Structure 1
Amino acid sequence: MDVKLINPILSAFGEIIPQIGFQTIEKKSLSVVGSTFKYDGILISLSVVGPIKGVIMIGMDVDSAKRFASRMMMGMEVLEFDQLAQSAVSEMGNMVCANACTQYSKSGIAGLDISPPILMIAQGGQATLSVPKTIVIHFLVDDIEIKVYVGLV
């Protein structure tokens, strides 16, 4: 995967997250995993089609997802990761990926489209993407650890 495919996603994440109530975004690390990886918690998956194809996934543990949803919902207490909380974090994924498509367009890659977000919840879950390698970007958003998985070609 071309590393240039990552910059629009980083820009989109940096633009959208502050708009939904978060103060600090720190990129902690970047790593490469194979097409299959394990996760605990939630994964928001959005497919990308057009000149670039693949998937962008955003993951965090369930407690972090509840805190994230609470912040998005103006501090409303989230005791369970229910449909409302799931909808909130899914919408964040939708916003980030839509903005990433705009960023790609600005860099000369136009005509991208994304699928509606799919939310998966698992402990000891496994995801397999249709790309040989997946780039994982580790963020700390305020005090919430978030991983962004990018599998694009």
Structure 2
Amino acid sequence: MNVKFLNPFLEATAEVVKTETGYDLKRGDLKLEEKPYSTGEVTTIIAMVGGVEGNVFISMSRDTALQLATRMMREKFDEFDGLAQSGIAELGNVITGRASVKLSATGYEATISPPTMLMGAGAVISTLDFHRLVVPFYAECGEIVIHLALREGRSSAVNAAQIPVPRRPSL
């Protein structure tokens, strides 16, 4: 994990959570993980490709997700239904999108995938040869943990027109 990818995510997470929910975040201690990731109760997964490649996991308890969704949508959620799930997925999408804008400003353009929600604690996800930088954040509503399994990718300046295409031999 390249640490220069860290600050855009730290900044984006604090900015987006504050803007969308009003919660202030306090960052906990960073740690580097090499073993497979065991998911929390609610995990949003977003892939990145381009100048930065890999996966971003945003994990939290069900209660934290419900409180965040309630604040974001200004509607009380007692169940983690489709609308609450959509809100938390969008929160992860906005955080990662904002971080990708910040990365682009430093020369690392990346495209993000639509978010995927994984519900239920204990699913094991291997990021193979990607080490994960784990960043816990604490808010009044609970803990939000960002897992960054990222590395420098192919330059985003390369496009299909620049990739040589093998020619078939003539007969």
- TM-score, normalization by structure 1: 0.93
CA distance in structure 2 between the partners assigned to 1:10 and 1:33 by the alignment: 17
Q: Deviations over 1:7-48 (max 9, x none)?
A: 111111122111102231110121111240212301100000
Larger Rg: 2
CA distance in structure 2 between the partners assigned to 1:130 and 1:54 by the alignment: 10
User: Corresponding residue for 2:103?
Assistant: 104
Conservation of the 8 A alpha-carbon contact between 1:131 and 1:151: no
User: Corresponding residue for 2:20?
Assistant: 20
Gaps of 5+ in 1: none
**Which has the larger displacement, 122-131 or 12-21?**
122-131
Matched, 1:134 2:118: no
Identity of aligned residues (%): 28
RMSD: 1.3
**Which has the larger displacement, 99-108 or 125-134?**
125-134
Which AA in structure 2 matches 1:12? A
Gaps of 5+ in 2: 152-171
User: Corresponding residue for 2:117?
Assistant: 119
CA distance in structure 1 between the partners assigned to 2:72 and 2:92 by the alignment: 12
Please show how residues 33-112 of structure 1 align to structure 2 within 5 Å: 33-74=33-74, 76-110=75-109, 112=110
Conservation of the 8 A alpha-carbon contact between 2:14 and 2:24: no
Conservation of the 8 A alpha-carbon contact between 2:45 and 2:56: yes
Q: CA deviation at 1:58?
A: 0.3
Question: Higher strand fraction: Structure 1 or Structure 2?
Answer: 1
User: Corresponding residue for 2:149?
Assistant: 151
Q: Determine which structure has greater relative contact order: mean sequence separation of CA pairs < 8 Å that are 6+ residues apart, divided by chain length.
A: 1
Alignment length, in residue pairs? 151
Conservation of the 8 A alpha-carbon contact between 1:36 and 1:127: yes
- TM-score, normalization by structure 2: 0.84
CA distance in structure 1 between the partners assigned to 2:40 and 2:23 by the alignment: 25
Q: Deviations over 1:73-105 (max 9, x none)?
A: 11x211110000000000000100110110001
CA distance in structure 2 between the partners assigned to 1:73 and 1:90 by the alignment: 13
Q: Which stretches of structure 1, 4 residues or longer, exceed 2 Å deviation after superposition?
A: none
